[in-house]
């Protein structure tokens, strides 16, 4: 809107009487913005009054605390982003996707790395997140490509893994699950797990996401998100079909 109004960045922050840092953060989406500030911006940018209300409704929605706030998470957390998403395309290398994990599997992953209170919070959050796979309203479409190595890794021991793999078989009615078999050899996913989140609004861009040992990172640049999407599609094309994946899951179960 600023660009359409032919206002430079410098002209805008001076006339809005805010710092250049504040306006920069607002425009990059790294900080929240209040209704009164947005009204000032709309007025300065010459936006007609009839167009204000849908924009202000978005501002109010963005500032509304979600259920995740009770667990100390912000509106910029992955959980908030996932809640807004309508579809997730994920590649999972080390572990089975969080939305498809059993509680015993979750506990085994958390053992030794989280305090008891953190573990309880993590599991409570994940239970809430998993409900969207069952929901008739606002149901999340989950499409997962999982590396075979994640299914053979004995997280928590044989009994925990048996329960997890049985749950994964049942979950094929809730999510699209494909296994990338070991026989594929080297592949682009060996760099690590990642996901692409899509949103219900047609003009809302997709977002890439990955985690590593230091932090979690969102990918917003269109070219980078496109690279993630192409990588996921390539991995999906190399993976077994849904039916073949179920067959491999059953064979792995038989070996435990």
Give the per-residue pLDDT at 83.
Answer: 87
Give the per-residue pLDDT at 11.
Answer: 92
Question: What is the separation, in whole angstroms, between the first and last Cα of the chain?
Answer: 59
CA distance 220 to 223: 9
How does DSSP assign 53-120, residue by residue? HHHHHHHHHHHS--GGGGGT--TTSHHHHHHH-SEEEEEESSS--GGG--HHHHHHHHTTTS-HHHHH
Give the per-residue pLDDT at 196.
Answer: 96
CA distance 206 to 226: 9
Domains in the chain, ordered, with CATH?
9-63 (no CATH), 72-255 (3.30.870)
**Between 103-110 and 158-170, two packed helices, what is the crossing angle to 10 degrees?**
130
CA distance 210 to 189: 12
Per DSSP bridges, beta strands 216-219 and 207-211 are: antiparallel
Q: How many CB atoms lie within 10 A of CB 20?
A: 12
Per DSSP bridges, beta strands 194-198 and 207-211 are: antiparallel
Q: Which residues of 2-14 are buried (b: 16+ CB within 10 A; e: fewer)?
A: beeeebeeeebbe
Please check whether residue 85 is in contact with residue 197, taking contact to mean a CB–CB distance below 8 angstroms: yes
Spatial neighbors of 44 by CB under 8 A, at least 6 apart, are 5, 7, 12, 15, 16
How many residues are listed for the chain in this entry? 256
CA distance 92 to 68: 24
> 10-residue block means of pLDDT along the chain (256 residues)?
91 88 79 84 91 87 75 82 91 93 89 66 86 82 96 93 94 93 90 92 85 82 93 96 94 92
Give the per-residue pLDDT at 74.
Answer: 80
How far lies 69's CA from each of 63, 73, 77, 133, in Å? 12, 5, 10, 21
Give the per-residue pLDDT at 27.
Answer: 83
pTM: 0.73
CA distance 239 to 256: 22
């Amino acid at each position: 809107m600023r660009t359409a109004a032919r206002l430079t960045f410098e002209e805008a922050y001076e006339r809005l009487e805010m710092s250049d840092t504040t306006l920069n953060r607002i425009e990059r989406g790294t900080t929240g913005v209040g209704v009164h500030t947005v009204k000032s911006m709309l007025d300065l940018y010459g936006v007609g009054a009839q167009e204000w209300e849908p924009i202000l409704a978005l501002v109010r929605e963005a500032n509304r605390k979600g259920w995740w706030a009770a667990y100390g998470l912000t509106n910029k957390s992955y959980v908030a982003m996932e809640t807004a998403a309508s579809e997730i395309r994920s590649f999972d290398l080390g572990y089975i996707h969080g939305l498809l994990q059993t509680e015993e599997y979750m506990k085994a992953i958390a053992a030794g790395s989280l305090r008891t209170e953190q573990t309880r919070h993590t599991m409570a959050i994940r239970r809430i997140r998993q409900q969207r796979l069952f929901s008739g309203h606002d149901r999340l479409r989950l499409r997962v490509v999982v590396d075979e190595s994640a299914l053979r890794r004995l997280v928590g021991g044989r009994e925990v893994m048996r329960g997890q793999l049985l749950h994964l078989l049942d979950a094929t009615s809730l999510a699209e699950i494909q296994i990338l078999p070991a026989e594929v050899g080297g592949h682009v996913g060996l760099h690590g797990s990642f996901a692409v989140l899509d949103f219900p609004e047609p003009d809302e861009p997709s977002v890439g996401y990955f985690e590593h040992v230091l932090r979690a990172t969102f990918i917003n640049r269109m070219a980078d998100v496109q690279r993630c999407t192409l990588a996921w599609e390539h991995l999906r094309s190399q993976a077994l079909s849904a039916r073949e994946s179920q067959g491999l899951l059953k064979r792995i179960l038989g070996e435990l």
